[in-house]
Every structure is written in structure tokens, then in C-alpha cells.
Structure 1
Amino acid sequence: MDSRLLLVLLLLLGASGLRGQGPGPRGPLEEPPEEEEEVPEEDGILVLNRRTLGLALREHPALLVEFYAPWCGHCRALAPEYSKAAALLAAEAAKARLAKVDGPAEPELAEEFAVTEYPTLKFFRDGNRTHPEEYTGPPEAEGIAEWLRRRVGSSATQLEDEEGARALIDAADVVVIGFFQDQDVATFLAVAQDALDMTFGLTDRPQLFQKFGLAKDTVVIFKKYDEGRADFPVDKELGLDQGALSRFLLTHSMHLVTEFNRKTFPKIFAARILNHLLLFVNQTLAAHRELLTGFREAAPPFRGQVLFVVVDVGANNDYVLRYFGLKAEEAPALRFINIETTKKYAPVDKQPVTASSVAAFCHAVLGGGLKPYRLSQEVPPDWDQRPVKTLVGKNFEQVAFDETKNVFIKFYAPWCTHCKEMAPAWEALAEKYKDHENIVIAELDATANELEAFSVQAFPTLKYFPAGPGRKVIEYKGTRDLETFSKFLDNGGELPAEEATELPGHPFPETPENSTVPKDEL
């Protein structure tokens, strides 16, 4: 090579700083390397930003990061529990650390990790930035710490002998032991990671199989109540199905009879048992408490098919009573519901609550021998005297499906803030069209009235019933203001595509975990 050309090449390479071969000088707009910045802490929690996240991931093999917003009420409620969890892990010298990121202040990070609501918690393992795991545990300190323990360590205790197995079984109310000689235990351990309210053990020892009367791979629940034990044999050919095992654990870890309250509510609905039998009693009355014996005796044959639930009418469960159309003084009372169809059933005759009468009621519903009932208020004498007509279950059909009228109905809940916000616009709409003989503006309290035609799943729900045959129903998806309502009516129940939108609503039914229920009713 020509010596002059070689010199030019060397000069060019030198001018470029040989990228990647050394630090070189930093330009005025470049950020300092992450190693030059220390990660600050608050209450034992790492406070991260876009510069320090990478450094934290390299330093901590297990990192749970909360993306929060300073204005978020749920974030503020989580903060003390998050700090307690950090203290628990620090006291144990655990490998896992907790961190937090102000999402609105770090939009690049929020976008990178697809954070759309607050708080959002993501778990990073071994510095892997591209595939964090979503946090699925509870919002309490011990639950957060346990969720992490089961990811940085083993989620099940290895059992070698009977003494260890007995000690584990005696240590908790619900203990799950996997007896495996032929199956891969990965599925079992994956389920154990998230079942935080149960203690897990694992063994392949033949003497333990023999001791507990097992001839094949089996998952066994040991519990200090009800039947005491439940077995889940593993099919040797099909192996262990994660979904089936999760359902088994959830179903059989629950008490045969569960009392409805804030703590049990999530498990009641997570059990995926669609049929619920509810006994409404006043627990302060001895005569009512005595009924629980017969109710419990009827439960075993229906485990996995019907969930038996006790609702104490004296324990601030008014919203449950309203949902079933009951009053506290009507207790004791039985009600049956399928939570998928929301069909409700009541005994034909008010009989004493005994094991036989409860079982007979369940069989009648499951066998199709009973018809569901629907809630309805009485028709008010002046239901059609105001611009906004008042509908109830008993007059809904004749008004909504009147073939000579175009009927626009608001389905609301009395406690729903979105419903209250749109009320003035709805009144103004009714006033505007009150002289149009073929247009009816109406409203129906969907918490007190149930319809055969359809169920209402959120509040407010707005539906338009155009005149003519065919019982046609059009759901309104536009903005909730007088101008857009009017445009919708004037166009025969249609809006331009650009006017359609998805607006916020409150879910139904009411639940104790649902923020839409007024606090004074919880």
C-alpha cells in the first residue's frame, strides 16, 4: 500500500476516536455513562430513571419495578406496603430488590415497557430488559415479598423423609405436596409460584409414596378443615396440565362453605365455579347460626359444581342484598345464581333450611326444574308524566319495543358518577324532544330492574330502540352531550364513524373490591 494512503487512513481512524475502543471525549449533549451515577434510594426502594435502570438491572439479578404516578391514589395506597415489603426482603438479605419509576416523568421508559396505567409492576430477572414478567401478586407487603421469594428461590420445599413431610403439613392450614417419580416438576413449580396462600412441598421418595397411600404421581392437598385431604392423580400419558391443577387447588383449598367478605370475594370469583348458592343469615342470632350446620352438610356432593356461600346481613352487605332483591329482615333466605348468565333462583316455598331442603333446591335448579326470577320495581303512577320517562322491569317491554316509537333509554345505577355527570344532558334531551310524538326519552335503574331481553354490564349503558318490527336494538357509542345525542336521534340511530367513541363506565354487578361502590356502602 502507498505510504501516503496508509498515513491518511491512520489519521482518519484517529479522528474518529476508534469507536468502541476507548472512552474518548464526551460531547456536550451526551449523557454520562450509567456507572458514573449512583442510584438513589427512598425507604430501601431504588429510585430509577432512564439512565439508571440499566445499571440497576446489571447490579441486581432480581428486580421488581413499580411504575407509578404521583397523582395516582392507588399508587399512594400501595406505597406503605411496598416499603414494608422492601424492609422484609432486606431483613432476610434476599437477592430481590424493589425499585420504582415515576412513569409520567419518564415517558420513554413508560413507552418501552408498555405502561398504560398506574401502578404497574414488572419483574426483571438476570438483567433481561426485553421480557419482564408482569407482577400478579397481591398489593400487601407480605404478599409482595412472598411472590418474589418464590421467584428467586424454590417455590416448593424438597422433602426427603416422613419427618420433613409431617413438619411441613403441620406448619400451615393448606399444604400442597407433589409426589412425582415419572413427571417433570416444572409445571408444578410454576403453579406454586403464584399460589401464595398455600405452602408447597415436593418429593420423589418411594417411602413417602407408600406412607401416604399413593401408587402413582399425585398432587395432594392437606388441609386442617372439611375433608382434610384431596388428591389430584396425574395422567401418565397426558402429564400435568397447569390450568387443571390450578383449578383443582383453588376449588379444593376453599372451605365447603365460604363466608362472603372483602378477603374471600376475590377467591369466590376466581374459583371459576359458575353456580353459587347463597344463604343469607344474621350471624348475631343463635337460631340463624344453627342453620349453618345443615347448609354445610349439604355441600360435599356439590363441590366443584356449586359454591356454597354465607352472607351475613348484619355485616354491611347491603349491596349484595340489593342485587338479589332482598331485605335484611327476610333472612334466613336461600338464593342461587349462575354468575355467567346472571340468572337468579329462589325456592318456590319458604322451607326451613336443612341439609335435605338445600340439596333439593340445588338439584331443582341444576336439573332445570325452576325458572329464574327477575327483579322489578313497581311501575310508578307518574312514570310518563315527566320529559324523561321512568321505566322498570314491568313496563320495559311495552315501551321499548313499541313499534310506533323511537325509544332512547339510559340504563343507570344510582351510585354511578358517570351517570350523574350525564344526567343534565339527558334531561335537556328529553325536554328538547318532548313534543315529538314518535320519540321517547327514558331511563331505567338497572340495579333494581332486570330484563329478559338482555343484561346490562356497565353504567351508564345507552340503547336506542327504533320504531318498526323486529325488536331491533342499537347501542349508543357517542359522546354524552346534548349535541351528539340530538345528532344521533335526528339520524335515526346512527353517528358518523368519527363521532363514535368508547367512554368510561362503571362495571356491574357491584362488588366490595369495586371502586365504583360508594365507600359508605363497603
Structure 2
Amino acid sequence: MLITLLYALLVSSVIATENDSRPPRLNNTKAAEAFIDSAEVVVIGFLEGEDSHGYKELIVAAKRVDSVPVAICTVKEVWADYGLSSDTLTLFRKADNHQENLVLAEIEKLESDGLVNFITINEVRYITEYNQVTAVGLFNSEVKSHLLLFANRGSEEYTELKERLGALAPEFTGKFLFVLINGALQSNFRSLEYFGLKSQDLPRVGIYDGDSDMKWLLPEGEITTDRVREFCQSFLRGELKEVKQAGAETKTEL
């Protein structure tokens, strides 16, 4: 009798754990807005139900990309508020106020690996570490101006500078994407060379403007919030266009 009771409790515990691990349900627009506002990057599966094409794959993908909160919305009145009319996986990010839609009906072979790729490629944050995966999302963004922090992972200032500039980034939402480039990685040496830098020159801060394909460096010195803020504002005022670009043969900085 005791063994049967313990077994029943164990089974119910497992079921409860499985249920608790399922993404939360968003039943109205207010709940959806609160969820979107809860993190820098979130994903909502706008699906008719658990039998929908892509539901099981999304559950698997959500467990693999646990850095991005995932929720489900089956209420079509809410879908309309986000311009959706069919089953869609949507990623919302604050860094550039962007909504990236993946219409599931348009995908013939839908796999969890593909959904993981969709999430990780588009996981642009207030400060995003540059690599081959995140580069796709960064350069596909409508925001073409990048504030670049070049720093060597493992250095004393790496974490502090990442947090400092990450805290500044919200001030420039829609104007800049803040990007961290780890100068200790050989795969990033070309990015450093593009700015006329070497790993031993770091940390440094630069701006790259994708629209004009121009680039500048913040002058050497302490990388403070005020200096970086003023550097960004100088670009927005158009003042950097008169300054010689970084990486030029005779390098002149602001």
C-alpha cells in the first residue's frame, strides 16, 4: 500500500513538473504586452493549439534556448494586434524595437533545429556579442549604426565595460546597436584590423555606420559612460563626418 502511494506521488510529481515546464499561455493583449516587456528578447508562438504545426518543435527549441523566454498565445484577437493572421512564431526584441515573424505555414520541413537557429540568429540584445550567428541578426536589423566595444575576454575590464555599455544602450534604442567584439578571438582579428587595431590595443570603442560604410574610434583614454554617450551623440549630430576614419593610413581620431 505504501509503495503504491509513493509511486502515485512520484508519477503525479513528474506530470506536474512537465506541465510546469510548458510555456505560459497569454490570453489577452495586456498579458502579451507584459510578457514582451519582461525581457530584452522574447518569443511568442501564436498558435491555434497544441496540435498546431510547429507546437512540439517550439517546445523542444524553448528548452534548448533557455536564455529567451517563450510563451504561447491561442487567442486570435491578440494575433490581430500584432498584424498576424496565421500560425506564426514571433520574436520581439527591445534593442531595436523589432518584431521578427516566422510564418509556420510557409515552412515545408519544420524542425526544432530550425527554430533554434531562428531564435539564436535574431537574439539581438542591448549589447550583443559578435559572432557568425549573431552577425546575421545584427546586419539584418533596420538599425545600421553600431557602437562597438572591442575588449579581450578575460581582461580585468571586460565584464565591467560590457555591463556599463549595456546599461547605456537603452538610451539609443532605434539609433544604435551596441556590439561587443572579443579581441582575444582569432576569428575577430579581421574586425580589429578594419579599425586599425590589434588585440594589445584594447579596450577601445568605435562606431560603424552601415549606411555610409564609415568608421571612427573614440580617442584613447578611460571608457566612461559620459564619453561614450557624447561619442554617440556626436555621430547623430553629423559631426563625425568631418573626422578622419579609423584604420586610415594617417589615423586621426575625434
The TM-score, its normalising length taken from structure 1, stands at 0.29
Q: 1:246 pairs with 94, 100, 110, which one?
A: 100
Counterparts of residues 73-92 of structure 1 (less than 5 Å): none
Please give the alpha-carbon distance, in whole angstroms, between the structure 1 residues aligned to 2:100 and 2:145.
19
Please give the alpha-carbon distance, in whole angstroms, between the structure 1 residues aligned to 2:88 and 2:139.
20
Please give the alpha-carbon distance, in whole angstroms, between the structure 1 residues aligned to 2:100 and 2:149.
27
Counterparts of residues 84-123 of structure 1 (less than 5 Å): none
Q: Secondary structure at the match of 2:77?
A: coil
Please give the alpha-carbon distance, in whole angstroms, between the structure 2 residues aligned to 1:310 and 1:186.
31
1:253–1:328 Cα change, 3 Å: closer
Aligned sequence identity (%): 23
Give deviations 1:259-278, integer Å, cap 9, x for gaps. Answer: 11122111111122110000
Aligned to 2:204: 333
Counterparts of residues 108-507 of structure 1 (less than 5 Å): 153-155=52-54, 173-175=68-70, 180-181=76-77, 184=80, 187-188=83-84, 192=88, 221=92, 245-246=99-100, 253-316=123-186, 317-347=188-218, 349-370=219-240, 371-374=242-245, 375-377=247-249
Counterparts of residues 37-76 of structure 1 (less than 5 Å): none
Q: Secondary structure at the match of 2:138?
A: helix
Q: Secondary structure at the match of 1:320?
A: helix
Q: Where does the alignment leave 5 or more consecutive residues of structure 1 unmatched?
A: 1-151, 158-166, 199-220, 233-243, 379-392, 394-522
Give deviations 1:308-329, integer Å, cap 9, x for gaps. Answer: 0011111111110111121222
Whether contact under 8 Å (2:145, 2:209) holds in the other structure is yes
Please give the alpha-carbon distance, in whole angstroms, between the structure 2 residues aligned to 1:377 and 1:355.
29
Please give the alpha-carbon distance, in whole angstroms, between the structure 2 residues aligned to 1:271 and 1:191.
23
Deviation (angstroms), 1:303: 1.9
Q: Where does the alignment leave 5 or more consecutive residues of structure 2 unmatched?
A: 1-50, 57-61, 102-117
1:175–1:377 Cα change, 3 Å: same
Q: How many residues align?
A: 174
Deviation (angstroms), 1:187: 4.8
Please give the alpha-carbon distance, in whole angstroms, between the structure 1 residues aligned to 2:174 and 2:71.
18
Whether contact under 8 Å (2:150, 2:204) holds in the other structure is yes
Q: Secondary structure at the match of 1:299?
A: helix
1:173–1:246 Cα change, 3 Å: closer
Deviation (angstroms), 1:289: 2.9
Whether contact under 8 Å (1:346, 1:372) holds in the other structure is no
The TM-score, its normalising length taken from structure 2, stands at 0.55
Between the two structures, name the one with larger relative contact order (CA 8 Å, sep ≥ 6): 2
Which structure shows the bigger proportion of residues in helix conformation? 2
Q: In terms of Rg, which structure is larger?
A: 1
Please give the alpha-carbon distance, in whole angstroms, between the structure 1 residues aligned to 2:71 and 2:154.
35
Please give the alpha-carbon distance, in whole angstroms, between the structure 2 residues aligned to 1:191 and 1:337.
37
Letter matched to residue 174 of structure 2: G
Whether contact under 8 Å (2:79, 2:85) holds in the other structure is no
Provide the aligned C-alpha RMSD in A.
4.1
Please give the alpha-carbon distance, in whole angstroms, between the structure 1 residues aligned to 2:136 and 2:204.
23
Letter matched to residue 262 of structure 1: Q
1:171–1:314 Cα change, 3 Å: closer
Give deviations 1:184-235, integer Å, cap 9, x for gaps. Answer: 4895366835x5xx5xxxxxxxxxxxxxxxxxxxxxx5x9xx99xx9x8xxx
